[in-house]
Amino acid sequence: MEDRIRQNLASIRQRIEAAAARAGRLASDVTLIAVTKSVGLEEMRILRDLGVTHFGENRVDVAREKIETLDDASLTWHMVGNVQRRKAKEVLRLFDTIDAVDRISLAETLQRHCDSEDVQCRVFVEVNISGETQKHGFVPDALTDALAQIATLDRVCVEGLMCMAPRDMERNALLALFRELRVLADSHSLSQVSMGMSGDFEEAVEAGATHVRIGRALFV
């Protein structure tokens, strides 16, 4: 297992470097988030020992055990799933970044918990860039108003935007979609964009992603 993960990680890093070079960017400007929701502590320790420091989880109960067991201050934890308001307080306690704020009510809940705990939280705002009805997030036309409302919440710090592309989208369409999110981020003076997963991270990097979320490709 260790050899497989080592080889997969090396391949992914090479592909990120090549994609960045095609866009005239530096691979060092792209943060790899290892999405470890489907694996256990052994795989996570292997990745950590190989230099991965950003991990993504989507279930609070599962993540709690992993975070507390690893107990490693050098790691950055990303909540990459939908956050239920009733679990927002624990999400704040466990995670460094909430990567999918998809509605104003969640941002307001985070603000209240941050006030009570006297902390701030870092978030990415999710954009439904493809307009799919089953996707979470703000439609592009609503983004300006949404960011203005979140800006009134002094404890909620917007790091950037994030999106999820449709499955099996053709390469040129993917590039166009990801570039649209990059333009939206730039238009709101946001430097960070989280987009791209195992099947489309190269296109995301070419389009300007600063964070890619990779799970399956690390472990198959």
Report which of 201, 197, 196, 203 is spatially closest to residue 175, judged by C-alpha positions.
Answer: 203
Expressed as residue numbers, the domain containing 146 is 2-219
Give the distance from CA 171 to its chain's centroid.
21
Q: What is the pLDDT of residues 112-155, one digit of tens each?
A: 999 999 999 999 999 999 877 777 899 999 999 999 999 999 99
What is the structure's pLDDT at 172?
Answer: 96
**Cβ-contact 42, 69 below 8 angstroms:** no
Extract the tokens encoding 213.
């979320």
CB neighbour class for 19 (10 Å; exposed up to 12, middle 13-18, buried from 19): buried
How many distinct helices (H) and strands (E) make up the chain?
Answer: 9, 8
SS3 call for 156: strand
209: domain CATH number is: 3.20.20.10
Q: What is the 3-state secondary structure (H, E, C) of 160-205?
A: EEECCCCCCCCHHHHHHHHHHHHHHHHHCCCCEEECCCCCCHHHHH
Helix (H, G, I), strand (E, B) or coil at 54: strand
Interatomic CA distance for residues 34 and 197, integer angstroms: 10
Stated pTM of the model? 0.95
45-56: per-residue pLDDT in tens? 999 999 999 999
Q: List, for the chain, all residue ranges whose pLDDT scores fall below the cut of 50.
A: none
DSSP string, 84-116: PGGGHHHHHHH-SEEEEE-SHHHHHHHHHHHHH
Looking at the structure of the chain, the number of domains it has is 1
Closest listed residue to residue 220, CA positions, set 38, 27, 72: 38
Angstrom distance (rounded) from CA 188 to CA 125: 12
User: What does DSSP say about strands 156-162 and 192-194: parallel, antiparallel, or unpaired?
Assistant: parallel
d(CA 163, CA 62): 24
